[in-house]
Structure 1
Amino acid sequence: MPKVSLTKFPVSALFGVVKPSGPTSMSVVNDVQLLVARSKLFAEADKLAKIKDKKIDRRRGKHGRESVKIGQGGTLDPLADGVLVIGVGKGTKKLNDFLNCTKEYETTCLLGCETDTYDSEGVRVRLAPWQHVSREKVEAALPQFQGEITQIPPIFSALKMDGKPLYEYARKGIPLPRPIEPRSVTVHSLEIVKWLGEDHSFSWPEKQMSPEEKEALETALKGAQEDATIKDDPEAPTDDVKPTAFVLRMKVSGGTYVRSIVHDLAHTLGSAGHVTTLKRSRQGRFVLKAEEAGDSECIPWDTFEKALVDVGEKDEEGWTEWERQVMQNLEVV
């Protein structure tokens, strides 16, 4: 796609943002929209005139958002950071292209504890031993998770069954009407890039499932699998022992659940595990650091965070610092 022409604007475009860990993807998009709506790069002159003296207020709800059309091409969980593709104007029509494209991730797996969401944002579901797991055993298990594989999405997800989100079955103790449908995905590459062992600062989530919550989850699962049980392994160590962690890097097709790969891998190793960090380093041609021809480098979140507090002075051509950075990494639609 062509780079932006400074003689013709406003434009419709795509660009990448480095989402930080913590906020939701939608809150990031909403914050970027506040800047986009005040830029001649993206907004029509009449719209700029209407909000000329309006201050940026990040606390406003959706009804207070600006009128410039904006969206994102693939949600990242609040825990996750990395590439988030933003579309503005007609660029929003191109965002579906990024849902099924190839993506690259780095994720940290913490052994010994399974959570309801398969990541550290969730609640403890089950503990299991991990001391028997070595780097060699992990590497030996990885090939069965490469190529074309099938995954069963987590029950604590927003996927719907008979019009009801899966997590609603789990939380309310409603039996699943049938097993969760597996999905076919492709894992192009999967490797362990760092063995942390006990040299890390991660710990299991403090919050645990109550007996009533475990019973509700079991009831939901037994609707599709009669022998489903949610019990700690009697040989599982206590919190006093620091669990093992390691980092995986993978290149996957759209629709792949990284959390499920970590969860299923831990089961294969005779343990339990969950995701504690997740970074998306590539989504299609958008990357954290452009190293190949055709790559589009993402803009650090600090650029937008700074502008939201103080947009700064304009240069001799009338552009602010954040606008300049966007223009350097912009794809006009």
Structure 2
Amino acid sequence: MRLNKLVRMVDGKILEGVFAINKPVGMSSYQVIRDCQNVFDPSAAFAPLLAREKSLREKESQYQKRRRSKVKQDLRVKMGHGGTLDPLASGVLILGVGKGTKALSNFLLCTKTYETVVVFGASTDTYDRVGKIIKKGDYKGVTREVVEEALKGFRGKYRQMPPLYSALKMEGKPLYEYAREGKPIPREIETREVDVTELEISEWYEPGTHNHRWPVEEAGQAEKNVIGAVWEVAKSQTAGEKPDEAKIEKAEQETKALEDFSSKKREAEERVDDLVSDEQRAAKKAKANDGKAEPMMSGALGVKAPPKGKGSDLIPPPPGPDEPFPWEGKGPPACKIRMTVTSGFYVRSLCHDLGEKIGCGAMMAELARTRQGQFILGTDNCMEYDDILKGEQVWASKIESALDLWNNQDAKPAEAKSTEAAAKEVPAAEVKTETEKPTQEEAGNQEPPKETGQVKEEVPKDTAA
């Protein structure tokens, strides 16, 4: 059956449209596109699509050919995404192929369903398990009833504060750059209106019954002061109060002093390093290697294993069951929360704000997007990422079936229809092009790139979701 489908596609069926894939944890959305392109480009299934593209290019004028950038000159399967997923998150990632990339803007404003695991008792700079601990709180009185009562304030429409110590830009600069450069913290932080139509605890984990935990590393005191000042601005702004100017000024002064110290330390280290001659360095290297060639990686006949893409392992794996816990006793409780939200919603902010409301601190340990628009995890229009790696005899029929579901719709889904007009009204500055360096990928803060045969990516400078 699969062979017959493959033969049919080789005979000229052009595969294009929209489908979804279950993105693994630790991988960027851009890396998923690159991996798909690397598999699709040489395949028989997508040969007709590339043949059509080649034919169209041959008909282009010399002016059109000169306008094509070097990046776009390579003949590749044109792909894009309908909203990025954070490296820490897994789940539904919508992909467009060929002409399907033109429909990706329809998903910019659609609703999404997430499942997240919240661990209580500590807050981190990035609001998740891969950040640095900023403060810890007493979690002994945290029960399911307490959390359910606190969640009532996060249902419906409200203005949400985005993750503050992240790659989110404020006045054109990522917030972490203010701390690194000793610049004053902006006193106005933009909030956004979000709508939470579903929010419930799906699982509750009593202390000592789960393996979720806080990170081990704690932020330095100067960094804690800076982040504390930022949170002070956000908290007072949300409550409509005037922030504590003295506390903010003190944090800014300490940040500037820390930056000056770090700068002088770097200069001193560079001067010492310059005293070591190239000959001395070469002699040290030769002595360390004892005159032997650098060992090759393990493998048959010494062949090096192919490197993974730069966006493949961006997040450390979760702790193993034998690793020690960062607390004494049973530790804090945790819970899994299911929510359906509008676009622009930050799940990590909900986790952080929930901990602040309860008074003990909290952070996001896991995140999965189970639905976006009409694409649902575990259904025929959402493939498993591992299927892409099993060979064309496995993924070809599944891709064809998923694209047929999209192309054979009697009409566009109601949600896609309603969002299409709204998407056209999104300011140009909010839509990322493939030539821009992607900032930190936020769950809920998804913006599709223009359709392209190439993707560019810069690994996030901080480790948030």
In the superposition, the TM-score normalised over structure 1's length comes to 0.80
Amino acid at match of 2:118: C
- Structure 1 or 2, whichever has the larger Rg, is 2
Q: Match of 1:55?
A: none
Judging changes above 3 Å, is the alpha-carbon distance between structure 1 residues 185 and 223 closer, same or farther for their aligned structure 2 residues?
A: closer
Within a 5 Å distance, the mapping from 1:257-272 to structure 2 comes to 257-272=346-361
Q: Is the 8 A contact 1:189 1:252 kept in 2?
A: yes
Offset of residue 66 of structure 1: 6.0
Q: Does 1:209 align with 2:219?
A: yes
Q: Is the 8 A contact 1:100 1:253 kept in 2?
A: yes
Q: Match of 1:75?
A: 84
* Match of residue 14, structure 1, among 1, 13, 18: 18
Q: Match of 2:399?
A: 326
Offset of residue 185 of structure 1: 0.5
* C-alpha distance in structure 2 between counterparts of 1:244 and 1:114, whole Å: 14
Compare 129-138 and 171-180 and name the one that shifted more.
Answer: 171-180
Compare 247-256 and 161-170 and name the one that shifted more.
Answer: 161-170
* C-alpha distance in structure 1 between counterparts of 2:144 and 2:354, whole Å: 13
Q: Give % identity.
A: 41
Offset of residue 222 of structure 1: 6.5
Offset of residue 240 of structure 1: 1.7
Q: Deviations over 1:91-149 (max 9, x none)?
A: 22221222211100110000011111111121111111111111011111212101111
Offset of residue 64 of structure 1: 11
Judging changes above 3 Å, is the alpha-carbon distance between structure 1 residues 147 and 162 closer, same or farther for their aligned structure 2 residues?
A: same
* Match of residue 110, structure 1, among 109, 115, 119: 119
Q: Match of 2:238?
A: none
> Structure 2 regions of 5+ residues with no counterpart?
1-7, 55-70, 235-242, 252-325, 409-465
* Match of residue 150, structure 2, among 135, 141, 147: 141
* C-alpha distance in structure 1 between counterparts of 2:76 and 2:362, whole Å: 44
Compare 20-29 and 8-17 and name the one that shifted more.
Answer: 8-17
* C-alpha distance in structure 1 between counterparts of 2:74 and 2:164, whole Å: 33
Amino acid at match of 1:120: R
* C-alpha distance in structure 1 between counterparts of 2:74 and 2:36, whole Å: 11
Offset of residue 266 of structure 1: 1.2
Judging changes above 3 Å, is the alpha-carbon distance between structure 1 residues 118 and 171 closer, same or farther for their aligned structure 2 residues?
A: farther
Q: Match of 2:43?
A: 39
SS in 2 for 1:306: coil
Judging changes above 3 Å, is the alpha-carbon distance between structure 1 residues 306 and 63 closer, same or farther for their aligned structure 2 residues?
A: farther
SS in 2 for 1:142: helix
Judging changes above 3 Å, is the alpha-carbon distance between structure 1 residues 154 and 98 closer, same or farther for their aligned structure 2 residues?
A: same
* C-alpha distance in structure 2 between counterparts of 1:94 and 1:263, whole Å: 34
Comparing both structures, which one devotes a greater share of its residues to strand? 1
* C-alpha distance in structure 1 between counterparts of 2:73 and 2:222, whole Å: 41
Judging changes above 3 Å, is the alpha-carbon distance between structure 1 residues 209 and 299 closer, same or farther for their aligned structure 2 residues?
A: same
Offset of residue 220 of structure 1: 5.3
Q: Match of 2:267?
A: none
Amino acid at match of 1:214: K
Q: Is the 8 A contact 1:71 1:86 kept in 2?
A: yes
Q: Does 1:24 align with 2:99?
A: no
Judging changes above 3 Å, is the alpha-carbon distance between structure 1 residues 302 and 155 closer, same or farther for their aligned structure 2 residues?
A: same
Judging changes above 3 Å, is the alpha-carbon distance between structure 1 residues 144 and 221 closer, same or farther for their aligned structure 2 residues?
A: closer
* C-alpha distance in structure 2 between counterparts of 1:249 and 1:154, whole Å: 20
Q: Is the 8 A contact 1:114 1:125 kept in 2?
A: yes
* C-alpha distance in structure 1 between counterparts of 2:104 and 2:180, whole Å: 33
Offset of residue 206 of structure 1: 1.1
* C-alpha distance in structure 2 between counterparts of 1:322 and 1:125, whole Å: 45
Amino acid at match of 2:110: C
Amino acid at match of 1:255: G
Q: Match of 2:206?
A: 197
Q: Match of 1:283?
A: 372
* Match of residue 343, structure 2, among 240, 246, 254: 254
Alpha-carbon RMSD across the aligned residues, in angstroms, is: 2.7
Bigger relative contact order, structure 1 or 2 (CA pairs below 8 A, ≥6 apart): 2
Q: Does 1:239 align with 2:257?
A: no
Kindly report structure 1 stretches of 4+ aligned residues shifted beyond 4 Å: 5-8, 62-66, 218-224, 227-230
Offset of residue 8 of structure 1: 5.4
* C-alpha distance in structure 2 between counterparts of 1:80 and 1:214, whole Å: 26
* C-alpha distance in structure 2 between counterparts of 1:12 and 1:264, whole Å: 42
Comparing both structures, which one devotes a greater share of its residues to helix? 2
Amino acid at match of 1:20: P
Q: Match of 2:423?
A: none
> Structure 1 regions of 5+ residues with no counterpart?
49-61, 231-237, 291-295, 312-319
* C-alpha distance in structure 1 between counterparts of 2:74 and 2:338, whole Å: 37
* C-alpha distance in structure 2 between counterparts of 1:128 and 1:39, whole Å: 54
Amino acid at match of 2:194: V
Q: Is the 8 A contact 2:15 2:400 kept in 1?
A: no
Q: Deviations over 1:195-230 (max 9, x none)?
A: 112211111101110123224434656677436689
Offset of residue 40 of structure 1: 4.3
Within a 5 Å distance, the mapping from 1:123-202 to structure 2 comes to 123-198=132-207, 199-202=209-212
